[in-house]
Amino acid sequence: MRLILLGPPGAGKGTQAQRLVGKHGIVQLSTGDMLRAAASAGTPVGLRAKAIMDRGDLVPDDVMIEIIADRIDQPDTANGFILDGFPRTVDQAKALDRLLDERGLGIDRIIEIVVDHEVLRERIAGRARETGGSRADDTEATVAKRLDVYRRQTAPVAEYYRQRGVLKPVDGMGTVEEVAARIDESLRAGTDA
């Protein structure tokens, strides 16, 4: 099973991805983890990515796609994977489509966790209170910026997949268990919205 989880910051993608990893015996492919692993391994593309990150720049799409290509070629992805944090732009989605086509692979489901942005602000503020503000990305200003970036860059990815008829929106409001049940149902039901 190969999945993509989409949704704004704080929607619960990471929580749901971990649950799906355990339930289906697949691996979670986080772009941040892949970048750090490639840099640490000293692969040619990893060294290029490290130099870019060390300058404080964003890793360009072509380098990111090369890192994903290397990662999905690893044996532990044979049963499938969940892409978490990628694609973030329509150009990345198109590049991912080409990469998977070249390998004769497809994505089984693209699930968008849909949540109200005002509730997200409250959810993340609550998380900040629970963790004592230990996450730098949980400040109100950072949350507002991340949601704005999501609206401008990543929300169009959902529309790209919706137009292709492969997106399954899932109501992300409720408990972790309620959202998990909706995701499980969407995996059983297919991609009809």
Q: Which residues are catalytic?
A: 13, 88, 127, 135, 146
* List of long-range contacts for 88-92, beta carbons under 8 Å, 24+ apart: 88/153, 88/154, 88/157, 89/61, 89/153, 89/154, 89/156, 89/157, 90/156, 90/157, 90/160, 91/61, 92/61, 92/64, 92/65, 92/157
Q: How far apart are CA 62 and CA 51, in angstroms?
A: 15
For residue 152, the SS3 value is helix
**Cβ atoms within 10 A of the Cβ of 42, count?**
9
Helices (H) and strands (E) in the chain, counts: 9, 5
Q: How far apart are CA 119 and CA 117, in angstroms?
A: 5
